[in-house]
Amino acid sequence: MDPLQITAYTTVSAAGDGREALRSALLEGKGGLQPNDFGHAPLDTWIGRVADLENRPLDEGDRQSECRNNRLALMALQQDGFLTAVESLKSRVDPTRIGLFLGTSTSGILSTEQAYLELRKSGRWPAGYHFKGSHDLFSATQFVRQKLGLKGPAFSVSTACSSSAKVFCDAHRFISTGLCDAAIVGGVDSLCLTTLFGFNSLELVSGQPCRPFDQNRDGISIGEAAGFMILEKNCTTESGVALLGYGESSDAYHISTPRPDGAGAGLAMKQALNRAELTVDEIDYINLHGTATPSNDRAEANSINRLFPSSTPCSSTKGWTGHTLGAAGITESIIACLTIEAGFIPGTLNTQSPDPTLGLNIQCSTKTEPVTRVLSNSFGFGGSNCSLLFGRTSC
């Protein structure tokens, strides 16, 4: 496929506001997980919570979009000079030809949770509750579209934890078929009680910071994040990092458990390699989906063991951010770009004894070395698999 150049990107997560904060956290081993203090009856777990989000209300003019999810989206837009980069893009590309594709799993569902609590307490819906502007899956996309002044194709993708990885695939399809000339992709997912208690009911939440691929791993740490990237064709950038390939597949196996042999995940990785016209020996690092549940990590390991040499460096970065669900794809794509630009392979924070039965070359500590090409995996409920391949290129 023709690579899409990444000309700007921005991120906010528990690991920090902006890409420099995230890069420093990864290099210094400073994770963002904390004991859970979210909600009126916090579960005994750890979370990746973005600091001070409660004290950043939207402006009066955005009242109908008010929710934690859109606050988080705006916070990310305001980092890393991204708003300026979008204005520069609009000076080169007609805004009607710029696509906007965002991923989320639960959008602003917290606002509906709070509205029901008020209804139960007082018998009335709260005055400021507005479903379409907060909970609706298109809410964040519409909010971001208005903030950026875009007029091109726009939609939300909600495929659980692969949501904001799959938007890269949609962007490439829209650009390659001539429906737009550039795209802004990203994702936003914020903490809510639905996901915390939902994952807990499935016995997938850990009582301590998550330990992906550790022999004593026992579940996930849920986090929240937002991130955005600009993708362009036929351009030059200082960093030269681009989307080189992508792959998508479905396990068609189970609603909440991955296919144990990892065949579906492996198909997505093969597609990404084929689109990029690269071999497994040309991949310097794999950013694993790595949720830290026993079954997910084993299925992903099975898929990688069938494809890649056992020496390929792998790690999961969810120990820094938590599992940011619908925002995991964009957050870890940004980490992939950081590793290429700054030359390092992140470790797997909190993991001390990698499970020897999984057979992967798990990196426990961050190390500095040149990185040219990175594969980033994102796998969601229902067996929704997506693999993205990033690397340096000249265009």
The catalytically annotated residue of 67, 130, 161, 314 is 161
Q: What pLDDT score was predicted for residue 240?
A: 87
pLDDT in tens for each of the 395 residues of the chain?
A: 999 999 999 999 999 999 999 999 999 999 999 999 998 878 999 999 999 999 999 999 999 999 999 999 999 999 999 999 999 999 999 999 999 999 999 999 999 999 999 999 999 999 989 999 999 999 999 999 999 999 999 999 999 999 999 999 999 999 999 999 999 999 999 999 999 999 999 999 999 999 999 999 999 999 999 999 999 997 666 668 999 999 999 999 998 899 999 999 999 999 999 999 999 999 999 999 999 999 999 999 999 999 999 999 999 999 999 999 999 999 999 999 999 999 999 999 999 999 999 999 999 999 999 999 999 999 999 999 999 999 998 54
The catalytically annotated residue of 172, 323, 337, 386 is 323
CA max distance for the chain: 62
- Residue range 207-227, pLDDT digits in tens: 999 999 999 999 999 999 999
* Count of alpha carbons within 13 angstroms of residue 154, beta-carbon side: 22
DSSP line for 71-86? HHHHHHHTSTTHHHHH
Assigned token pair, 128: 């400021």
Q: What pLDDT score was predicted for residue 164?
A: 98
Cα angle 72, 73, 78; round to 5: 95
135 is catalytic: no
Residue 49's nearest CA partner among 63, 39, 58 is 39
What is the Cα–Cα distance from 362 to 378, expressed in whole angstroms?
A: 17
The partner residues of 258 in beta bridges, in order of sequence, read none
What letter does residue 14 receive in the DSSP assignment?
T
Q: What pLDDT score was predicted for residue 111?
A: 96
Q: In this structure, which long-range contacts are made by residues 367-370, counting pairs with CB atoms below 8 Å and at least 24 apart in sequence?
A: 368/27, 368/343, 368/344, 369/343, 369/344, 369/345, 370/284, 370/343
Q: What pLDDT score was predicted for residue 395?
A: 42
323 is catalytic: yes
Cα angle 330, 6, 324; round to 5: 5
What is the Cα–Cα distance from 53 to 180, expressed in whole angstroms?
A: 34
Cβ neighbourhood burial of 330 (10 Å; 0-12, 13-18, 19+): buried
pTM of the predicted structure, to 2 decimals:
0.96
The catalytically annotated residue of 130, 135, 172, 289 is 289
Phi–psi pair at 194, nearest 5 degrees:
-60, -45
User: Strand 225-232 to strand 182-189: parallel, antiparallel, or no bridges (unpaired)?
Assistant: antiparallel
Q: What pLDDT score was predicted for residue 239?
A: 67
Q: Are 282 and 274 in contact (CB under 8 A)?
A: no
SS3 283: coil
254 is catalytic: no
User: Strand 285-287 to strand 344-345: parallel, antiparallel, or no bridges (unpaired)?
Assistant: unpaired
| Amino acid identity, position 50 | V
User: Strand 313-315 to strand 16-17: parallel, antiparallel, or no bridges (unpaired)?
Assistant: unpaired
Q: What pLDDT score was predicted for residue 39?
A: 85
What is the Cα–Cα distance from 246 to 268, expressed in whole angstroms?
A: 8
Q: Are 233 and 5 in contact (CB under 8 A)?
A: yes
SS3 255: coil
Distance linking the first and last C-alpha atoms of the chain: 13
